[in-house]
Structure 1
Amino acid sequence: MRWLLALVFCLPVSIFALSDEKEATQEAGGGSSPYLSFCQKRFYEEKEGRLLCNWAVNFNFACFVSYPSNKVIQAGAKISDPQVVGKCDNGEPIIKLFHY
């Protein structure tokens, strides 16, 4: 009999806890997370609302990709201005860009 009584009191509490958790994640906002992209400074160009460069996922790849890529980032997706974060072994400056 006690287990039935415990079940009656615990079940509604657990249902409310789950619904509160779901609401909290929905309120936090859906949408995409920001990205961090790297490229060689000499290839960076803003043209017709697009950001063109030899975009790479990290600093090292940006040093090895020596030509502009087909990846295009919309200028409106830019969160921060490009910032020089270092140089490759050949002295080429690498920039990073936060964007959506």
Structure 2
Amino acid sequence: MWQWLLVAGLVLPASLLALAVDDTTGAQTDGGQSPTLSFCQLRFYEEDDGRLLCNWAVNFNFACFVSYPSNKVIQAGAKISEPEVVGECDNGEAVIKLFHY
């Protein structure tokens, strides 16, 4: 019984220390997001007062199924690349992709 408590008392703090020290990613800094790829139908894409409006979706297929503009807004300053046509839906609507933060 005491052996289990001794092992738990030694292993638990060591495992917490290992979680706290992460030398694979380097120093952690505040702020910043990972780049994101979003898709939408070209006919809905609109730049308005520093905002990018469209029927934003997480992939090409969802962009074809969402047939109305969404409430998701991307700030124009977050744009990494210009919109690029990547294909067409079954109904012929052009779909674009946008790389952004």
Same fold (TM over 0.5): yes
Alignment root-mean-square deviation, CA: 2.3
SS at match of 2:23: helix
In the aligned structure 1, how far is the partner of 2:32 from the partner of 2:50? 22
Partner of 1:36: 37
- How does the TM-score come out when normalised to structure 1? 0.74
Give the AA of the match of 1:72. V
Partner of 2:78: 77
Q: How does 1:1-100 map to 2 (within 5 A)?
A: 21=23, 25-26=26-27, 31-100=32-101
SS at match of 2:27: helix
Runs of 5+ unmatched residues, structure 1: 1-18
**Structure 1 residue 27, shift from structure 2 partner:** 6.9
Query: Higher helix fraction: Structure 1 or Structure 2?
Result: 1
Identity value in percent: 77
- How does the TM-score come out when normalised to structure 2? 0.73
Give the AA of the match of 1:50. R
In the aligned structure 1, how far is the partner of 2:22 from the partner of 2:73? 40
